[in-house]
Structure 1
């Protein structure tokens, strides 16, 4: 395949870079990276809290692939805005609780770093929940009041 064909052919890399140009793609990518860093910190401290990071990283990666492949418009049986909202809201709540518990326990330095990064993840997932709140995107249009605007 020639270089010009490779650049013009739609593929996985092009879909990934196109998603990374919008806010939702950047948020999902940042969530994946932050969960990975928190997982590494929890693993270094031999803490039992690493399952939250693994779970949220996998969910963020799944939603990244769904938005990258445009499956949210093709699979109509699932309400994607509400699913994404609840995913990020639950992640923010769980990271907040876990981070507070980890910071109160005080342990290994990497555990404290993971707690602080968990608070940052709380803010990131909370902003994602705020940004994807489905009712914010719906606009109410007023019903016509003029008899001429109504049906004939």
Structure 2
């Protein structure tokens, strides 16, 4: 039992580090960290705005685990590219609205920092939405066939 656990742990760690080095892994990790920092800033000033950061951090962590463990191939009834696209698009829009409201209200320094970081999060989530837009992704093309293989 201990041997199988020891052998599976490096595989899990390798999968985590391999996915973390991809563009999608870096984006999701940056989203999680940025949401955490925004959550801390909002908690220090106005806890009413912190729910957006909590929800987006949890959703980004879920998608990170799903992509890291290759669950998106094992759960085919969910369209993962479109789900991820709508998650990031909605997050970008909500962060933009929240940041504008927070910056217009003016408050203490942590509230202003949270508003500016929210604008940065808007750019990050917007870029992630642009990158994950399913229509932009290359489609599988059929392999070329040689006409000499079949009847003429």
Give the structure-1-normalised TM-score. 0.86
Unaligned stretches of 5+ residues in structure 1: 142-147
Q: Counterpart of 1:33 in 2: which secondary structure?
A: helix
Match of 2:123 in 1: 123
Which residue does 1:83 correspond to in 2?
83
Displacement of 1:134 in angstroms is 0.2
Deviation at 1:14, TM superposition (A): 1.8
Query: Over aligned residues, Cα RMSD in angstroms?
Result: 2.7
**Residue 123 of structure 1: how far off its partner (Å):** 0.2
- Structure 1 consecutive aligned stretches of length 4 or more whose deviation exceeds 2 Å: 5-9, 138-141
1:102 maps to 102
For the 8 Å contact 1:47–1:111, the answer to whether it is kept is no
Cα contact 1:31–1:60 (8 A) shared by 2: yes
Q: What secondary structure does 1:48 align onto?
A: helix
Q: Hey, what does 1:62 align to over in structure 2?
A: 62
Task: Name the CA shift for 1:89/1:9 in 2 (closer, same or farther; >3 Å).
Answer: same
Structure number with the higher helix fraction is 2
Q: Shift of residue 136 of structure 1? A: 0.7
- Please list, as runs of the form range in 1=range in 2, the aligned pairs for 1:2-151 lying within 5 A after superposition: 9-11=10-12, 13-139=13-139
TM-score, normalised by the number of residues in structure 2: 0.86
The alpha-carbon distance between structure 1 residues 52 and 8, as it changes in their structure 2 partners (threshold 3 A), is: closer
Q: What CA distance in whole angstroms lies between the structure 1 residues aligned with 2:72 and 2:8?
A: 25
